[in-house]
Amino acid sequence: MSESNIITGQYVRISQTPAGLGSRIVATIIDIFVIFFYLEGLSLLLGIIKIDTGLLGMFLLFYLPTIFYSFLFEVFNNGRSPGKMIMKTRVVKKDGSTPGLGEYFMRWLLQLVDIGFGFIGILVIVTTKNSQRLGDLAAGTMVIQVNNYRKIQVSLDEFTYLERNYRPVYAAAERLTLNQVDVIRRTVDSDYGDDRERRIETLSNKIHSMFDIPNDGIPHEKFLYTLMRDYQHYALELV
């Protein structure tokens, strides 16, 4: 299984291995057994103590935990169901961070589709780069091997982005936020055309004005690239 390389906003590379199809299937089978033994054990216990739970009790004790099994475990157990714990896998966001309630819910919601159309679910997993099922694609998550996650390889990308002796041009780059840098990056990486040149010029002028950067006549696109390069330098200094 190939590694998934992530570059965080602080320009740190994280390498992690997506969980294989086999381990995910085995984890699912284990979870099915856990649900089965829970239902059987609960039925046996209620039979021994002779308690009539009624329809509401049946729903709360039997159906609700079964329906929300994976969602509840992933939310309250750091992205791991019992099956995932045994197989040493875990759900994370594509950037390596912990998913939020919304991402877990989206995975659970589309799990019905993945399981209901098993062949399609398996096909999506084996054909996507990070072995993601439909729920993962929609939620922006992936399932990784926990042992690789704990031995996560973190390395500064100083040789990829900057030379060691690089000197920043614009000190104001240190005051940029991640969101602002992302806007700059998406603007300069956009498709070529008349509109691209206009947006680059507009953004360049706005940054000059916002951060009181003197306009030294440098082309707008080169200015934005230099600004990102300077930001990367300052980000690496802080790591």
Domain ranges of the chain: 4-153, 164-238
Written as six digits, the tokens of 223 are: 């200015």
Give the pLDDT score at 33.
Answer: 95
Interval 60-71: pLDDT, tens: 888 888 899 999
Residue percentage of the chain with pLDDT more than 70: 81
Give the pLDDT score at 155.
Answer: 46
Residue whose C-alpha is closest to residue 101's, from 62, 130, 67, 68: 68
- Mean of pLDDT over the chain: 80
Is the pLDDT assigned to residue 156 strictly greater than 70?
no
130 or 26: whose pLDDT is higher? 26
Give the pLDDT score at 6.
Answer: 54
Task: Round to whole Å and give the CA distance between 1 and 28.
Answer: 19
Q: If you ran DSSP here, which 8-state letter would residue 89 be given?
A: E
Expressed in angstroms, the distance from the first to the final Cα of the chain is 30
* Its pTM surpasses 0.95: no
Confidence band of 159 (pLDDT split at 50, 70, 90): very low
Give the pLDDT score at 194.
Answer: 67
Is the pLDDT assigned to residue 219 strictly greater than 50?
yes
- Residue 142 in 3-state DSSP? strand
